[in-house]
Amino acid sequence: MGEYNRIEDLTLNLSSSGECNLTGILFGGTSTATSKVRTCVLNVSTPNNTDYINNVYGVNAGGTGGLTNSSFSFNCIKGSTINVNASGGGNVRGILVSGTNVMSTRDVNIFVNAPYTGSLGSYVGVETNDAGGTGSIQMRSTTVGAVRRPSIELWVSSDILQTTPANVTDPTYLASPGIQVGPGVDLVTKSAGGRPFSLFTYPTTIYYGLKGTISSGPAGYLWPGTQAVSAGVFPDPGLPAAYYRVQQPAILCGLNVSCTTGPDAETTTVQVYYTPKAGGAITPIAGFNAVLSGAGATSISYYNSTQNLGSGDRIHVGLTYSGNNSSNKTHDVTIQLDMF
């Protein structure tokens, strides 16, 4: 795309008969802020050969340029479909943001097909991965889909993948670079590659509240909702662990733990676990572990990774603390899990 260009009502087909790297549309310079793709269909494909190492991108935003007041009204891609069908050992992307530019989409369908059996590559609908860690894509009314990997295959896939930036410092509206998920966005397999992303719609929230001083009750598992701490009763120390059942595939994307009084010289720890629908041991979810330590520790958040959850999986929230009835002062705890 050149500066101040527009293409509309086109079907664009790009394919290869051998091993090569393909890019369907390249946004260079500041074209994500000046040029537009409207009501187009883009098809990019390579042969079903597992020996090839092909880097295949439907769209590559490799330019520069920051967020402007008109980014959402502009929408560099709107009303279009991006289909990518490739196999082998390379990186396959529907959209890749490889530059420091900002792009926005509306009413777009992005689909990365499953590779041929035996492929070893990486297959992702939308990825942000620029060296400066500032590139961004903001999506509204957009469907992003990458086929879920069967257990017998070795390739990896996810709907979205925020490789950079590695951390989300403030998961609020337009506050962070990377992948911004807005109203009407559908992630088909509810997968984010274990990486963080930002929401500018209000997330689904699972809330837990403990009213009282923590050291009045036993360590154990929490039930969703709010309940008073009670010696020997709550939190619940028994097994099977208290749980919240996931009704539809979802992504666990955030944790916040707060209290009115910190633990003084002690620590209070919250760990999120899950049990797959198929059964098995309760498994701690990496990163979703919040430790309040010291009198001034009254709030802690974590948004730097994600966990895919399937229909029927169970979420557990465990609480442990150090000290005894007289030393741990943690009082009135609230725990919030953010889901997409």
The whole-angstrom separation of Cα 326 and Cα 332 is 16
Count the domains in the chain.
2
Same domain, 313 and 191: no
- Full DSSP string of 98-161: -SS-EEEEEEEEEEEPPPPTT---EEEEEEE--TTS--EEEEEEEEEEEPPPPTT---EEEEEE
186 inside domain: yes
Q: Are residues 120 and 39 in the same domain?
A: yes
Residue 122: inside a domain: yes
Residues 287 and 147 in one domain: no
| Pair 177, 227 in one domain | no
pLDDT on residue 174: 56
pLDDT of residue 335: 98
Which pLDDT score is estimated for 169? 67
Q: Does the residue 214 lie in any domain?
A: yes
Query: Residue ranges of the chain with pLDDT lower than 50?
Result: none
The full length of the chain comes to 340
pLDDT for res 172:
61
Q: What pLDDT, on a 0 to 100 scale, did the predictor assign at position 322?
A: 94
Q: Which residues contact 175 (CB under 8 A, 6 or more apart)?
A: 169, 198
Residue 12 counted as domain residue: yes
Structure tokens at 137: 């894509």
The residue out of 199, 234, 255 marking a domain boundary is 199
Residue 188 domain-assigned?
yes
Note whether 246 and 170 are same-domain residues: no
pLDDT of residue 142: 98
Measured in degrees and rounded to the nearest 5, phi and psi for residue 216 equal: -80, -15
Q: Could you tell me if 113 and 223 lie in one domain? A: no
The residue among 139, 165, 199 that closes a domain is 199
Last residue of a domain, one of 199, 221, 238: 199
Same domain, 188 and 69: yes
Same domain, 159 and 247: no
Residue at 325 is within a domain: yes
Q: Is residue 153 part of a domain?
A: yes
Residue 229 and residue 319 in one domain: yes
Task: Give me the domain span that covers residue 132.
Answer: 6-199
Is residue 1 in some structural domain?
Answer: no
Q: What is the pLDDT of residue 72?
A: 59
pTM of the model: 0.92
